[in-house]
Structure 1
Amino acid sequence: MNKKITLLLVIGIGIASFYFLDIKEYLSFESLKTNRDRLKIIYQENSIVFIFWFVGVYFLTVSLSLPGATVLTLAAGAIFGSVLGMLLVNIGATLGATAAFLSARFIFRD
């Protein structure tokens, strides 16, 4: 029972942080338009780190069911190109959906 409560607290803190820290402001179309060139430069300077960072953010967005996956998907296409962007979005979405499924299965099982 303690593991279930701990998992619920972690999920709750993640969702609350998204709203209280106003992270949703950065996951908007306006923010993407404004920062697209800067993100491309960061990607060109630190490709591997930026790819891991992007997949991690996408994973958290999907696993916590936060709004913003659409903007992140568009950002992937704009920053990485269509093929690599599609691959990274698929990896992040698959890992995030798997984590969401497993956590829900663990929390709500008998």
Structure 2
Amino acid sequence: MPAANKIRARLTLLAAVALLWLAAWWLLPQFLSLQMLAAHDDTVRTWCRQHTAVALGILFAGYTTVTAASIPAAALMTMAAGWLFGFWSAFVVISFASTLGATCAFLISRSLLRDAMLARYGHQQQKLLLSVERNGAAVVLLLRLVPTIPFFLVNILLALSPIRLRTFWWASQLGMLPGTAVFVAAGASLPSLKTLESQGTAGVLNWQTLTAFLALGCLPISFRLLFNRKIGETTAHDQ
């Protein structure tokens, strides 16, 4: 593709992404805000049970958009979905929606940022890029299992690496399952959405939830030990 056409295509993609991002930030808080759902929680829950397929479709589209646009509302949406639909329905839909949204963000970041970032910093990060290329799935799993790293940042960082799309997809799907399960279960245990709206995530803290979060926090530590061992074996083999 000629350079001029390539630049034009990237500018078009950038404009489309900007419009999507602005629309998501403006529309979603008005139509799918936690405050709106909490104010009519019984009515909304009844409607979701009467129109389950449509409601789950709306959840899938909304969650995918939120994730792709990097709007910091995923945790609250996950718990709200657990309360509205129950554990299994919410868990399955959010698992696939979060992965699709992350993949969209990954592809957009790769198209817009990768060439420029590699041209500027690639020579300084050869060892890191080589490690990701050799251990792509393990890197994705480790990053997804660390709850303190924002997922949108993970999407961008991995987009700059040579990791394959298929590997990013399945490793993200697998790596986000534990966190999704914990947040959906926490939401399913809520007495009402008003509790979540007024108290935030602190409103769902009980000993079962705390135990689940503790276990979730231990996962990346265990996985990192295994990952470091694998990296050490790979390095020794190369030498």
TM-score between the two structures when normalised by the length of structure 2: 0.41
For 1:78 and 1:32, the matched residues in 2 are separated by 11
Which of 3, 9, 33 is the aligned partner of 1:27?
33
Q: CA RMSD in A?
A: 1.8
Which of 19, 22, 37 is the aligned partner of 1:16?
22
- Correspondence for 1:39: 44
TM-aligned CA distance change 1:22 to 1:44, over 3 Å: closer
For 1:42 and 1:27, the matched residues in 2 are separated by 16
CA apart distance, 1:22: 6.1
For 1:32 and 1:93, the matched residues in 2 are separated by 21
Helix, strand or coil for the counterpart of 1:61? helix
Helix, strand or coil for the counterpart of 1:109? helix
Uncovered stretches (5+) of structure 2, i.e. residues with no partner: 1-6, 116-239
Identical positions, percent: 25
Q: Give the 4+ runs in structure 1 shifted more than 3 A.
A: none
Helix, strand or coil for the counterpart of 2:40? helix
CA apart distance, 1:90: 0.8
Write out per-residue CA displacement over residues 59-108 of structure 1, whole angstroms, 9 at most, x where no aligned residue.
00000101211221011101110121111111110100011001101112
- Is contact 2:24-2:65 (8 Å) kept? no
For 1:99 and 1:22, the matched residues in 2 are separated by 19
For 1:36 and 1:74, the matched residues in 2 are separated by 13
For 2:54 and 2:66, the matched residues in 1 are separated by 18
TM-score between the two structures when normalised by the length of structure 1: 0.83
Give runs of aligned pairs for residues 66-81 of structure 1, distance below 5 A.
66-81=71-86
Q: Which amino acid letter does the alignment assign opposite residue 76 of structure 2?
A: V
Are 2:93 and 1:88 aligned? yes
- Correspondence for 1:58: 63
TM-aligned CA distance change 1:57 to 1:23, over 3 Å: closer
Asked which structure has the greater RCO (Cα within 8 Å, sep 6+), the reply is: 1
